[in-house]
Structure 1
């Protein structure tokens, strides 16, 4: 069944969030803070691990880095595009709209919006969401998305325990994002090779690292506006390919 992997992912997030909400009801504020810092550290670790895995390579017995310039260019250009579109504000406005529409008054301050935005970014940024959705659409293979689901379930539970019910609404972003990739898998797949996926994963891991910093220190970095950077490696790759073809022909 096409899309089953995303449905499993959504179900796992809902289960984890529900558990987190039950825990939240019995947590004092100081415990919520330490839980939030803990998940922030875990997210930073995931981001660092992803960057190191993709950037460090062994050549002639020596560790060397790759993709450094690509990551810089992708982040700069992608951030400029995202800032122009103002993706961060649009995500926040959508969160506020959900809060008003469903009359969610239980979360104090901006916890609802922060929970929605932070969890949506965490669940959508990264290569597993892209690769897993393509495998779902092309081959009906769900192993990648099932593995992602277990991680998202744990992360959703911890985020919900700290930020509350807004995490539930991240399933909307996950459904639209992964569902769209799954439906378009036949079109997208021929244009994604291992190199592009590795580069996308590297840029996505940098954003995950930044998200971890936000979770620990409070919102400082407009990660939403940096989201276009994730897709820049594919654009740059094919721009280089086109220029190379034109130069030779």
Structure 2
């Protein structure tokens, strides 16, 4: 299989799953749709917790010491969150979602009664696009799977992720609409870029750095799950720079030891 096959498989499964979800979405009562979204929120919480547990990775502890991993994750989230908020990534992605909606479904949405004055259809599209993009693009399988494929070690991890994302897309699209289908484009861009990075850097990134990145990504997924469950609107997009900060902090601490 060629490098990039796993990414293409992921895009195809999300497109197929979203299309099926859109077809059955109107046939489900609202309470059923809400239950499906709540179930996905709980699953996202579980996946985030499992990924965050990588903070206890032996490789990470050997590289930075037994007490530093939690501090590294904390520092990455704080620094990344500050950078993300200064760059206003949350609002930028929201605006990008509205731009994608206009390109995909046009400007003819029926105005609703949202407090911010935006059409309710637009808000639903953006909610689906942002939530699905974050769910499908943030997490250990996204990073580790694409890097592994980029390193020439096969697409197996991404193929597993493709199956999971396909089933998730069915439920998400049924509840959140066309924005979930549009997130397939974000998958292509994000996973394609990370695959390219993996192909470029070869085996230069140590396991400890990947574990720190995975732990931070897990906590971001926990924040996303709180949004899905309507518990708290955590600005998870503003936290995304932490995915870059975490490996950098591991390298710094390892250098200073």
Normalising by the smaller structure, the TM-score range is 0.7 to 0.9
Distance of 2:214 and 2:92 partners within structure 1 = 24
Q: CA separation of 1:218/1:165 partners in 2, compared to 1, >3 Å: closer, same or farther?
A: farther
Gaps of 5+ in 2: 111-119
Q: CA deviation at 1:52?
A: 2.9
What is the CA deviation profile of residues 186-233 of structure 1, one whole-angstrom value per residue up to 9, with x for unaligned ones?
333433111111111111011111111100116611101100111212
Q: CA separation of 1:39/1:66 partners in 2, compared to 1, >3 Å: closer, same or farther?
A: farther
Check whether the contact 2:213–2:244 (CA below 8 A) recurs between aligned residues.
yes
Check whether the contact 2:13–2:163 (CA below 8 A) recurs between aligned residues.
yes
1:80 and 2:82 correspond:
yes
Check whether the contact 1:74–1:233 (CA below 8 A) recurs between aligned residues.
yes
Q: CA deviation at 1:19?
A: 1.8
Q: CA separation of 1:94/1:219 partners in 2, compared to 1, >3 Å: closer, same or farther?
A: farther
Gaps of 5+ in 1: 245-249
What pairs up with 1:31-50 in 2 under 5 angstroms? 31-50=32-51
Check whether the contact 1:56–1:66 (CA below 8 A) recurs between aligned residues.
no
The equivalent of 1:95 in structure 2 is 97
**TM-score, length basis structure 2:** 0.85
The equivalent of 2:25 in structure 1 is 24
Match of 1:27, SS state, is: coil
Q: CA deviation at 1:65?
A: 7.9
The equivalent of 2:132 in structure 1 is 119
What is the CA deviation profile of residues 73-128 of structure 1, one whole-angstrom value per residue up to 9, with x for unaligned ones?
11000011111111111111111011112225487351100100011111111121
Q: Paired residues, what number?
A: 239
The equivalent of 2:245 in structure 1 is 232
Distance of 1:156 and 1:215 partners within structure 2 = 14
Q: CA deviation at 1:54?
A: 4.0
**TM-score, length basis structure 1:** 0.88
> CA RMSD, aligned part only?
2.3
Distance of 1:231 and 1:210 partners within structure 2 = 18
